[in-house]
């Protein structure tokens, strides 16, 4: 049976996972009466809740006696490391572009990587049935993008299909016909994408995805570059530099057949398979026959740009909600995550109680924290900080991002003003249809931490922001931080509605009444720029005097809800977010007010 390997790449929300659903359905991977979840490829809970793809996943369909392996990739730049590795497994790419939005920053990022390694793209204009679709302009934008990314003449001569992933059809013309379903796309893949390029010689495979299976142990997914592999065969694992990591036997080989993985008796060259039985081999390692001495070259991965401290939770409420609280447990979990995710970098501090975790962006790190908290971990995390580098002349370099904001014209003024306060430079402003403008900035990553929620407030929820790492450039200067101070609890106990009602003049609350608080925990936002210690435990004094006038009713303003991402972006350097399976609390690093004053004085002395 002949074979094709393709990746579906697109910006977040342009419809990749929905299209894969329909491809599986129309190729006969499901029975007619089989009940299938929507977005079947989004397998973990966080992906289903947020409607985004976090982990790249493979599936396979059979069309006209040809097996097509399809890889669904994440659309968020924070998970770009997944995409960079995946592209080494495929020979072609379907570039999915929204008919109204056009190519966005993430499309540019992934397409750039795909063109660089010589993949031949197929452009599919999705959501053609949108009322604001503008397919002619979008195709011109795609062509300009490919040209700007130094595509070859052959890559620029890309075939185009139009259609709707949700409705399950693609055609060579925007108007249809729609009765052929996705057959034109399948046929185009067979015509346009070459068969896998396989080498001669014994078995070799580059590890691309790592996962832990409860029954089979560590499983590595990759594409077989040459030779064949069978269960019980002896193989060895080579690191990038050619050194031997381990030798062992393959216990099982699984291949993708529809959405299920089935054991097979032999892995053939060009196929994407998962092998089990080795305990140390990881991503970017070469799995090969014992006679092979040279490792397969892996694609270089872009460096991390944001770092955070993960600290053992030392608050008075530590250990009351989670069961995994020790530094050893947190360390093991973080290093296990780093094995399968090559974009994460983990360093231990000298006191062994905290870890510096570096990644591509706040979202990637927030997803890791959310996953750990659901597994029963308790920990405290610091504010995200950017990773600086030293230039050739000894100057400090910081990460700069290309930021693309779609906003209604009436709100564009406040967006430009706020971005300039954050040291951003505007490079382009153009209309994007429907009284909306598309603003493009080059901004330091430091200035963008926490801006998402502020942008939505300023534009009444109508703006859409997309970011993409551009390069390291010289330091742009200080960026203004949070202007408000905080309200801090001065004792341990449960918050009382009456006390909170009396404190409302001081500023909005971020906790509900009846919540456990402790000394040093932040319970509200101060109206002024200084921090203030307050008592939220004080109840109403009861007397035996009755009056004819009714007692004052306590009516509290609803508190500001702190989600994990919002809290991470909002805190300052002297604050932490305490994360447990049931709660997200914000606190000062030093819970004792005297320790805080001492730390402030020593900081001033250093400055």
| Residue set of the binding site for GTP | 13-18, 126-129
Nearest to residue 205, comparing CAs of 86, 265, 286, 292?
286
Sorted by sequence, the CB contacts under 8 Å of residue 116 that are 6+ apart come out as none
List Cα–Cα distances, 559 to 3, 363, 438, 500, 512, in angstroms.
Answer: 57, 24, 34, 10, 7
Tell me if residue 531 falls in helix, strand or coil: coil
Q: Is 256 helix (H, G, I), strand (E, B) or coil?
A: strand
Q: Which residues contact 71 (CB under 8 A, 6 or more apart)?
A: 5, 6, 7, 8, 56, 57, 58, 59, 86, 89, 90, 272
DSSP β-bridge partners for residue 400? 444, 471
Sheet holding 160-164, edge to edge: 57-63, 66-72, 2-9, 92-98, 120-126, 160-164, 169-171
User: Using the 8-state DSSP alphabet, how is residue 303 labeled?
Assistant: P
Retrieve residue 182's tokens.
């996705």
> b/e map of 156-174 (b: 16 or more CB within 10 Å)?
eebebbbbbbeebbbbeeb
The partner residues of 60 in beta bridges, in order of sequence, read 69, 258
Structure tokens at 510: 């971020």
Are the CB atoms for 207 and 285 separated by under 8 Å?
yes
Other C-beta atoms lying within 10 Å of the C-beta of residue 584:
19
Please name the residues in contact with 145: beta carbons below 8 A apart, sequence gap of 6 or more.
Answer: 103, 107, 108, 111
Furthest-apart CA atoms within the chain: distance in Å: 97
Residue 286 structure tokens: 């070469």
Measured CA to CA, the distance from residue 453 to residue 475 in angstroms comes to 25
Distance CA(63)–CA(186), nearest Å, equals 7
Q: How would you write 542-602 as a 3-class SS string? A: CCCCCCCCCCCCCCCCCCCCCCHHHHHHHCCCCEEEEECCCCEEEEECCCCHHHHHHHHHH
Instruction: Report the C-alpha gap between 475 and 452 in whole angstroms.
Output: 22
Residue 572, CB-side half-sphere exposure with 13 Å CA sphere: 16
Which residues participate in the annotated binding site? 13-18, 126-129
Tokens representing residue 263 in the block: 């054991």
């Amino acid at each position: 049976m002949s074979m094709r390997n393709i990746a579906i790449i697109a910006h977040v929300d342009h419809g990749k996972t929905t299209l894969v659903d329909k491809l599986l359905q129309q190729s006969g991977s499901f029975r007619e009466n089989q009940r299938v979840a929507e977005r079947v490829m989004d397998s973990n809970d966080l992906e289903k809740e947020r409607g985004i793809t976090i982990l790249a996943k493979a599936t396979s369909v059979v069309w006209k006696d040809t097996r097509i392996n399809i890889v669904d990739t994440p659309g968020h730049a924070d998970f770009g490391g997944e995409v960079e590795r995946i592209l080494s497994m495929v020979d072609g790419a379907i570039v999915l572009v929204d008919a109204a939005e056009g190519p966005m920053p993430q499309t540019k990022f992934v397409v750039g990587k795909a063109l660089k390694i010589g993949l031949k793209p197929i452009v599919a204009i999705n959501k053609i049935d949108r009322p604001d679709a503008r397919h002619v302009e979008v195709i011109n934008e795609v062509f300009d993008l490919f040209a700007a990314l130094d595509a070859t003449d052959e890559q620029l001569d890309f075939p185009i299909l139009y259609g709707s992933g949700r409705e399950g059809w693609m055609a060579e013309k925007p108007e249809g016909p729609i009765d052929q379903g996705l057959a034109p796309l399948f046929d185009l893949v067979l015509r346009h994408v070459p068969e896998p390029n396989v080498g001669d010689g014994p078995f070799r495979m580059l590890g691309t995805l790592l996962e832990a299976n409860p029954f089979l142990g560590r499983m590595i997914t990759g594409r077989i570059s040459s030779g064949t592999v069978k269960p019980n065969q002896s193989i060895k694992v080579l690191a990038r530099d050619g050194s031997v990591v381990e030798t062992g036997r393959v216990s099982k080989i699984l291949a993708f057949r529809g959405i299920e993985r089935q054991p097979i008796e032999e892995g053939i060259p060009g196929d994407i398979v998962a092998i089990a039985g080795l305990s140390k081999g990881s991503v970017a390692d070469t799995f090969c026959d014992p006679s092979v001495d040279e490792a397969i070259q892996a694609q270089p991965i872009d460096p991390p740009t944001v770092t955070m401290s993960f600290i053992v939770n030392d608050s008075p409420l530590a250990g009351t909600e989670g069961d995994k609280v020790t530094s050893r447990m947190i360390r093991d979990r973080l290093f296990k995550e780093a094995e399968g995710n090559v974009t994460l970098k983990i360093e231990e501090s000298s006191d062994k109680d905290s870890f510096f975790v570096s990644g591509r962006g706040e979202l990637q790190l927030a997803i890791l924290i959310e996953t750990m908290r659901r597994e029963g971990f308790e920990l405290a995390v610091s504010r995200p900080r950017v990773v600086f580098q030293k230039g050739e002349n000894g100057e400090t370099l910081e990460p700069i991002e290309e930021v693309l904001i779609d906003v209604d014209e009436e709100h564009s003024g406040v967006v430009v003003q706020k971005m300039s306060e954050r040291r951003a430079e505007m490079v382009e402003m153009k209309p994007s249809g429907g009284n909306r403008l598309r603003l493009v900035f080059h901004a330091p990553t430091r200035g963008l931490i926490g801006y998402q929620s502020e942008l939505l407030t300023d534009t009444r929820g109508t703006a859409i922001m997309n970011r993409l790492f551009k390069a390291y450039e010289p330091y742009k200067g200080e960026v203004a931080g949070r202007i408000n101070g905080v309200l801090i609890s001065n004792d341990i106990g449960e918050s009382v509605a009456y006390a909170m009602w009396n404190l409302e003049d001081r500023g909005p609350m971020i906790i509900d009444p009846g919540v456990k608080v402790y000394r040093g925990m932040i319970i509200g936002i101060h109206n002024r720029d200084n921090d203030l210690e307050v008592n939220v435990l004080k109840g109403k004094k009861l007397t035996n005097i009755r009056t004819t006038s009714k007692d004052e009713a306590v009516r509290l303003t609803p508190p500001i809800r702190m989600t994990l991402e919002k809290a991470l972006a909002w805190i300052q350097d002297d604050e932490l977010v305490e994360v447990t399976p049931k709660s997200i609390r914000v606190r000062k690093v030093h819970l004792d007010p005297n320790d805080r004053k001492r730390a402030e004085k020593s900081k001033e002395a250093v400055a």
